[in-house]
Amino acid sequence: MRIVHLIQSAAQIYGAERCVLLETRAQRLRGDDVHALLCHETRMGEGAGHLEDELRKLAVPVTRVVATGQVSPRLLYELGRALRRLGPEVVHSHSMKTDVLALPVARLLGIPLVIEVHGYLHPPDDARVRLYERLDQFALRHSDAVLVLSRDYQREVVGYGVAPARVHLVPSGIDVAGLRAEGGRRDLRAELGLPPRGQGPPVVGMVARLSAEKGHLHFLHALARLRERGLPVLGVLFGEGPLRGELVRRSAALGLAEAVKLGGYVPEVADAYGCLDVLVSCSQFEGLPLNLIEAMALGVPVVAMATGGCVDIVQDGHTGRLVARGDDEALTRALAELCRDAALRRGYGAAAARCAEERYSLAAWAAGAEAAYAAALAARRAR
């Protein structure tokens, strides 16, 4: 099958971008003819080519359509021309802007449109983003099929008026063996001035974009409480984003300036996870967070706030701990339990690795996506 994955360019590789990399790889392994079409926004500069570079390393052909940041007839024309030239059987879109742009173009060309939902922020004070989300929800209702990563998103999308039969629950898959083979490129503990594993306090951390919805402040508050209670825990925040300055200031105000390291954006994600004794997720909104699945695949126990797909991934008391969203005290207690007990961390980590292997393979994702594509093709023919 010839498939075009459509997404906006990105300066860093986070959730949606990692999904595109993993999904194109999974489909190529199945023998599909896969192409990536990137909507490149000029306002982001040439630095937004990281995703394009990574796709080319996977030998995925890439076409770039240049966008000024605004929807325009010219942009629609260029997108249509690219899709006409590529001739896909299915267009698979991954971002709000490309969802909205692809809807009229795919309809005009008679190509089934499949939209993968990676999540909404629902910001109460940003009318522009709320408008984009409403436009995207319109695109969902008129697409041929919708892929969701978690049961929580499945309920949400049906609530927007999408027919349940067109909503397909297909959890993300990862290349477990490939991820494990990538470890060992960098010794991030040494680079960050942290003690070697087993020779100092436990190191807990997050691997996420530094933005408000990821809940980094909950992490800092929990870390401060742990240290106040006599646990000399160290923290690391891997990622970049608009919240960096605020996190530096808040760490200092909480007395954590020496205890928390900001590791920046690290492409070698296996080494980022391997640096940690416990991975923490404090997200306020989530689809199916790849960082939890990847950490688990590497045997790292996890503590997550119970949002979105986190509830689907983490088996509380078996592969890690789940706590209520926004409950800093519950987060503190769960981290204290793991930081005090190395044997418990090892047990959770081993169970987590088995779970990732059994439930989140690339092959399982590709099979689910193929079923959704077949349904989209059937729906298109029926129109």
Q: Give the CATH number of the domain where residue 131 resides.
A: 3.40.50.2000
Q: How far is CA 27 from CA 52, 255, 301, in A?
A: 17, 48, 30
CA 182 to chain centre: 19
Same domain, residue pair 261 and 134: no
**127 and 185 both lie in a single domain:** no
Tell me what pLDDT residue 72 has: 73
Per-residue pLDDT, 121: 66
From the list 215, 208, 169, 210, the residue with the least C-alpha distance to 307 is 215
- Residue 46's pLDDT is 58
- pLDDT value, residue 1: 95
Span 180-238, pLDDT tens digits: 999 999 999 999 999 998 899 999 999 999 999 999 999 999 999 999 999 999 999 99
Range of the structural domain that residue 143 is part of: 2-173+362-382
Residues 224, 263 within the same domain: yes
Q: Give residue 287's pLDDT.
A: 78
- 248 and 161, same structural domain? no
Residues 223, 147: one domain? Answer: no
Q: Are 49 and 154 within one domain?
A: yes
Amino acid present at 133? E
pLDDT (tens digit, 9 = 90+) per residue, 285-337? 877 889 999 999 999 999 999 998 899 999 999 999 999 999 999 999 999 99
Q: Are residues 77 and 134 part of one domain? A: yes
Q: Same domain for 181 and 168?
A: no
| pLDDT given for residue 237 in this prediction | 98
* Number of independent structural domains in the chain: 2
Q: Does residue 290 share a domain with residue 240?
A: yes
Identify whether residues 275 and 152 lie together within a single domain: no
Residue segments in the chain with a per-residue pLDDT below the cut of 70: 11, 42-48, 68-71, 121-124
Dig out the tokens for 125 from the structure. 């004070």
Does 224 share its domain with 346?
A: yes
Judge if 311 and 376 occupy the same domain.
no
Distance, in Å, from the CA atom of 13 to the CA atom of 58, rounded to the nearest integer, reads: 15
